[in-house]
Structure 1
């Protein structure tokens, strides 16, 4: 998002966060209702233009939200009204921001239940499974298949194994990708979960499983480097041969043997 949209996005989410946190068991319902609005915006250019028109008073846009979506949970309606009353650099940013609010409501629900770390762990395991089974990833990401077919595959693969929050988050990105690729979308959800727990995510690739002591040591080193607690997500890949690869956001530290061999090969060729 560009400056104006990002400022509107962040301001409304700051106000919505305590509402989502206080919602308790209603968090999933609020999220579902926010997603209803997103879907309506995605399918109606005239609605997007009406709710992002900078020449239209915010009070009028909030009134339109109430008129169209008044049957939804009032907390969802209030959040959408606040978004609609804000200013946007691009009309598509409104729907994206409401989508983020829906995800926030789901994470707040899980946080209230004390299951947020479990949800984060499940999302990571699903991400690793999909990356390791390309056929499953392709099928679950297939835009030619219907939404129902993709959701059925999600159910067949994971069934009742997932926490309700994990299931709701995955069902949303599988059913309504909104231009997002599945694995990057899950990575973004992982980052949001870690952020809510006050942590930074470090994705670690190692030739062998790290011991508890190694995880603790690595987490301590990264926490010192980034000034906050770090969630270590480890993926085992025998092809790296040895060493570890650590990625935090866009920063990558690659100390694997395969990386060093590739670097040596490039120098020889050069």
Structure 2
């Protein structure tokens, strides 16, 4: 994340907190980020220097003006005017980071070979909330190289209960044995 993303995303969060709009703007940021990911040509157009800035900001107004919070629309127009719309994803990350810090939320990335059931995810969430003392949001990733077990990243710590990690541990111990 760049310094611009931290500055602008943090400023948007401060404004949203002042106006009691953190939940609404946070949800809308997620939705707009999905739209931008699905329409890279649109983002490229909004970043195109050959298109006058007033036309680019008009496109943002037409697309989001009637649906998103006014502060968020103006924020995107500001990024566009300053040729920083490429920092939008980083701004979203900073906004989310600040929101999580203020609301006692921790994000846990769970990596497994197969998708976990809702019951498994729920049980894991309860255990991770006990460990961290925070509300946990789970993000599930699939990786066939895990083979079996789970790898969880929570607040900069990695809990590795995968077969791969256990095999590596056994291999290390065998290499340490003096024959």
Q: TM class, shorter-chain normalised? A: 0.5 to 0.7
Match of 1:139 among 115, 140, 160: 115
Secondary structure of the 2:115 match is helix
Structure with the larger strand share: 2
Change (3 A) 1:32 1:43: same
Aligned to 2:25: 30
| Conservation of the 8 A alpha-carbon contact between 1:31 and 1:102 | yes
Aligned residues: 159
Change (3 A) 1:107 1:62: farther
Match of 2:12 among 11, 16, 19: 16
State whether structure 2 residue 61 is matched by structure 1 residue 66.
yes
Distance 1:37 1:27 in 2: 15
Change (3 A) 1:59 1:264: farther
Match of 2:34 among 24, 39, 42: 39
Match of 1:262 among 168, 172, 176: 172
Matches within 5 A, 1:166-245: 170=138, 173=139, 187=153, 201=156, 203=157, 235=159
Structure with the larger helix share: 1
Distance 1:157 1:38 in 2: 25
Query: Aligned-residue CA RMSD in angstroms?
Result: 4.5
Cα distance, 1:20 vs. partner?
Answer: 3.2
Cα distance, 1:139 vs. partner?
Answer: 0.9
| Conservation of the 8 A alpha-carbon contact between 1:30 and 1:76 | yes
The list of structure 1 runs, each at least 4 consecutive aligned residues, that deviate by more than 4 angstroms after superposition, is 153-156, 159-163
| Conservation of the 8 A alpha-carbon contact between 1:21 and 1:105 | no
Secondary structure of the 2:6 match is helix
Secondary structure of the 1:139 match is coil
Cα distance, 1:166 vs. partner?
Answer: 5.3
Query: What TM-score does the superposition give when structure 2 sets the normalisation length?
Result: 0.59
